[in-house]
């Protein structure tokens, strides 16, 4: 049962990540939320928007890598191989998202955003591999 719940949860999170990179989640949308809920204007608004968007990349893709890894491990056993496959799937999703954004008129794809995606994925990979729960025997 756990495997199925993890699979569904991972697919749901993956769809949230893909939706959040669509045309409706542009910078103007984020700025409007920050303006309404925090009352920010001017430079403070632009700074908060930038921080929120970059933190979103780190969080979205780090969590996506974690969920991919947990799901693969639930189906095939805990191995560092699945940590790396989960990381690769998350990074491929990031590449696809940036490419896809370049086709929307109010969005643009950015290689810098891939850096933030990779930072989130990297933190998760290091954390999982250092936890000692994932065998590295099959990586040698």
| Tokens encoding 60 | 């979205």
**How far apart, in whole angstroms, are the C-alpha atoms of residue 45 and residue 32?**
9
Residues ≥6 apart with Cβ < 8 Å to 20: 56, 60
Tally of CB atoms within 10 A around 139: 12
Q: Which domain holds residue 31?
A: 2-139
Residue-level pLDDT at 27: 67
Our count of domains for the chain comes to: 1
pTM for this prediction: 0.89
Residue 23 per-residue DSSP state: G
Residue-level pLDDT at 18: 84
Q: Is the dihedral of CA 120, 121, 122, 128 positive or negative?
A: positive
Q: Which residues pair with 79 in a beta bridge?
A: 135
Question: Could you read off the pLDDT tens digit of each residue along the chain, which spans 140 residues?
Answer: 899 999 999 999 999 988 887 766 666 778 888 899 888 899 999 999 899 989 999 999 999 999 999 999 999 999 999 999 999 999 999 999 989 888 877 777 788 999 999 999 999 999 999 998 987 777 76
Residue-level pLDDT at 17: 87
Residue-level pLDDT at 106: 75
């Amino acid at each position: 049962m756990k495997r199925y719940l993890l699979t569904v949860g991972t697919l749901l999170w993956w769809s949230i990540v893909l939706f959040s990179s669509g045309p409706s989640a542009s910078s103007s949308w984020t700025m409007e939320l920050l303006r309404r809920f925090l009352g920010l204007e001017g430079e403070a608004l632009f700074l908060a928007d930038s921080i929120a968007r970059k933190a979103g990349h780190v969080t979205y893709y780090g969590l996506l890598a974690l969920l991919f890894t947990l799901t693969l491990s639930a189906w095939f056993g805990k191995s560092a191989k699945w940590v790396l496959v989960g990381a690769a799937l998350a990074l491929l999703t990031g590449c696809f998202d940036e490419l896809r954004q370049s086709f929307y008129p109010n969005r643009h794809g950015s290689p810098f955003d891939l850096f933030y995606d990779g930072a989130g994925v990297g933190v998760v990979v290091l954390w999982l591999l250092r936890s000692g729960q994932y065998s590295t025997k099959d990586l040698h």
